[in-house]
Amino acid sequence: MSDTRRRVKVYTLNEDRQWDDRGTGHVSSTYVERLKGMSLLVRAESDGSLLLESKINPNTAYQKQQDTLIVWSEAENYDLALSFQEKAGCDEIWEKICQVQGKDPSVEVTQDLIESEEEHIEEMPETSPLIDLPTCELNKLEEIADLVTSVLSSPIRREKLALALENEGYIKKLLQLFQVCENLENTEGLHHLYEIIRGILFLNKATLFEVMFSDECIMDVVGCLEYDPSLAQPKRHREFLTKTAKFKEVIPITDSELRQKIHQTYRVQYIQDIILPTPSVFEENFLSTLTSFIFFNKVEIVSMLQEDEKFLSEVFAQLTDEATDDDKRCELVNFFKEFCAFSQTLQPQNRDAFFKTLAKLGILPALEIVMGMDDLQVRSAATDIFSYLVEFSPSMVREFVMQEAQQSDDDILLINVVIEQMICDTDPELGGAVQLMGLLRTLIDPENMLATANKTEKSEFLNFFYNHCMHVLTAPLLANTSEDKCGKDAVVGSTKSNTICPDNYQTAQLLALILELLTFCVEHHTYHIKNYIMNKDLLRRVLVLMNSKHTFLALCALRFMRRIIGLKDEFYNRYITKGNLFEPVINALLDNGTRYNLLNSAVIELFEFIRVEDIKSLIAHIVENFYNALESIEYVQTFKGLKTKYEQEKDRQNQKLNSVPSILRSNRFRRDARALEEDEEMWFNEDEEEEGEAVVPPVEKSKQEDDFPDSYEKFMETKKAKESEDKENLPKRTSAGGFKFTFSHSASAANGANGANSKSVAAQTSPASSNGSSSKNATLTTAVTATKGSLVGLVDYPDDEDDDEEEETSPRKRPRLGS
């Protein structure tokens, strides 16, 4: 047994029936010669002194409670308890106790004492009561209070006292004394009655609750519980229940039994939640039957209401009626909220029938109406009802919204109403928006979508969502990162351009929620989200937020990119390198300076992942474009590791090239690069107008540059057809001696590409040349910087191996490392 499993607190019950902490130590079970038997020993963890030495007697009743407590009595008025830090430790000691007593460890109370007492009871005369109750008189109240509180630690004595109270009708007699004491203003007697009634509640007997919570007795029970001796003045619970708390009938309830059950449940719930003090760790089980009493009352209420279809139909009719006034509608919505909360007590089969009844009556169209109302309280209650429905059956909600889409405009679709409520949440902490975001995530989670032989819910719903809803979800993100709001030198959160991302915390919180949902989509949706990101150039727009003054928002943007890179999808990788999308990340890292914070760690983890996973295309892009700016970061070896990986791959490529006859090398190599670029042009030039409808074609892996044909004959068959085209596509040498490279362009890039940024590290990150001219350097800057309206293209490299000067000065003049 480990130390944490051995760790226990030792408690003893004092004369006031309160548990005293005797210290913390480590327990063991061992044979003690002096006690002549197996014993429980607890030694203090502070100094090793003996806190407890107790022989495990065969006739002692041990009780296991709440998985981590063992309670027993060593003498009539000496009760002990061990509270374990871990369940495993409690189980092990419990097994030792049961082993000594010859009991099954699955029992929670060893029965030796109960059996011996039952034998003793059988020998007593039949007329002898189990417990002699004092006569119910004013001068006996202190004695009665002592008796009730003394039995609480013993399960056997609690049973006997409960039986005696039930048989003699004792509770009603006590409540009559309460009225006498209150009339006489007998404070001492009222304090004793508080202890007595509280103790009877802790007996945990349903038969006693039936008496105490009847219409005849419950208000007197509440009255007794007002006189807590620890309070200077009694509480006024009865006044609240009879005058302040009002029972509202949204539709008149004609069933008197149902009305009585609703009143009783509310009052008993009030006793449990408000009047009774929070039970201690040893008293929690004492009120389990009270919890069950409330539970079954709620089940009965829901069942009775559900069976009354006339009542529910009337409620729905008024809820959706335009003539219904706002106050009445608020009451109706709150009724349904409470109704759905009560339904959580039903068994799964009954709960299924309950929600199907609500769906049949039109709960979802009704919610669509009330969720769009101006009243904040109504919207909040409607959101709670919607959460119950989504939690119960996401498929039911999805089916409704897809059917609705065939008949309604996008603006009034239920999911779009939910998204708009999330976006327009007025709470500074966006509490409602967080709840709605969780519901949306449940609805778009493929894990809870059904797939049958004739129907695939995942495909149908995701097509619907991306066609009809995604533009509503991303609208705030695109609006706050739009090009027309972003000045040439605009920085998110700066004083130069407050419109791009307002400094207010609430907007930043909203954008963070949207990014969290989009990140979830990247992880769980495949071609749908990929198609959307490519068409909208979404990652570029998201990375604008790396400049936000709110670090948590910058981290959300970085997390979105990290999830994309984590997929190791070459489509995404080429999209990132073409768009030069590492630039804002590296800018953020450099701007962060020497501060060692979460942003610093998250950026470094991103590059470390690329290094460890050996994502060749990204490694080549990072080293070729940004290494000079990053090589000074030496407190981690990540960037040096990227350079090492890059050089190793470059050497491997050169070795493979050298192993191929020179007559084959250049033409072969250029053909593969060009074929790859053609694929990319087809992808990025897709019509953006079809943004939601386009479906990403199956991704075919592009050939690596080192992927040569297996035979010379196969190569020669294609070489002749390509030879003339190859010559036309060679990079043209400029007057400066460098090469002029052509960049890929797309409509999507024009939407979201960053302009020339004053913070750009492109120029400063190009590897410096020892002997290059200024004109060559200008060419290099063009080769690595994303200009406005374009994405950086992949480059065909010349095959002139003899031009050593050009090899040294041009960082782009080297074989590309994979696609």
> Which of residues 603, 637, 654 is at a domain's end?
654
CB 415 within 8 A of CB 437: no
Neighbour tally for 257: CB within 10 Å: 10
How far CA 617 is from CA of 558, 575, 782, in Å, comes to 19, 11, 20
The pLDDT of residue 34: 81
Task: Choose from 15-29, 447-461, 596-610 the range with maximum mean pLDDT.
Answer: 596-610
Burial of 623 per CB tally in 10 Å (0-12, 13-18, 19+):
buried
Among 17-21, 296-300, 675-679, which stretch is predicted with the lowest mean pLDDT?
675-679
Among 92-96, 616-620, 741-745, which stretch is predicted with the lowest mean pLDDT?
741-745
Whole-number percent of the chain with pLDDT over 90:
34
d(CA 486, CA 488): 7
Within a domain: residue 530? no
CA dihedral 552, 553, 558, 561 (to 10 degrees): 140
Residue 123's pLDDT band (cuts 50, 70, 90): very low
Q: Read off the CATH number of the domain in which 37 is found.
A: 2.30.29.30
Within a domain: residue 201? no
Whether pLDDT at 455 is above 90 = no
Within a domain: residue 626? yes
What number is the average pLDDT over the span 166-173?
Answer: 87
Within a domain: residue 37? yes
Residue 4's pLDDT band (cuts 50, 70, 90): confident
> Which of residues 634, 654, 674 is at a domain's end?
654
Among 261-265, 567-571, 673-677, which stretch is predicted with the lowest mean pLDDT?
673-677
The pLDDT of residue 193: 95
Within a domain: residue 362? no
Residue 115's pLDDT band (cuts 50, 70, 90): very low
> Which of residues 592, 624, 654 is at a domain's end?
654
For 151-161, the pLDDT digits (tens) are 887 778 888 89
Within a domain: residue 580? yes
Q: Which amino acid is at 548?
A: S
Within a domain: residue 393? no
Compare 347 and 193 and report the one with higher pLDDT: 193
Nearest-5° angle of CA 324, CA 330, CA 336?
105
Among 280-289, 344-353, 366-375, 404-413, which stretch is predicted with the lowest mean pLDDT?
280-289
Tell if the pTM clears 0.75, that is, is over it.
no
Within a domain: residue 277? no
How far CA 358 is from CA of 98, 258, 306, 324, 361, in Å, comes to 51, 20, 9, 20, 5
What number is the average pLDDT over the span 97-122?
Answer: 63
The domain tally of the chain equals 2
Q: Is 69 helix (H, G, I), strand (E, B) or coil?
A: strand
For 525-546, the pLDDT digits (tens) are 988 999 999 999 999 999 999 9
Range of the domain at 577: 568-654
Whether pLDDT at 296 is above 50 = yes
Q: Is 171 helix (H, G, I), strand (E, B) or coil?
A: helix
Burial of 732 per CB tally in 10 Å (0-12, 13-18, 19+):
exposed
What number is the average pLDDT over the span 310-333?
Answer: 86
Whole-number percent of the chain with pLDDT over 70:
73
Q: DSSP characters for 405-423?
A: HTTS-GGG-HHHHHHHHHH
How far CA 671 is from CA of 19, 634, 664, 803, in Å, comes to 84, 40, 11, 22
The pLDDT of residue 726: 43
The pLDDT of residue 428: 84
Segment (H or E) for 55: strand 50-55
The pLDDT of residue 661: 64
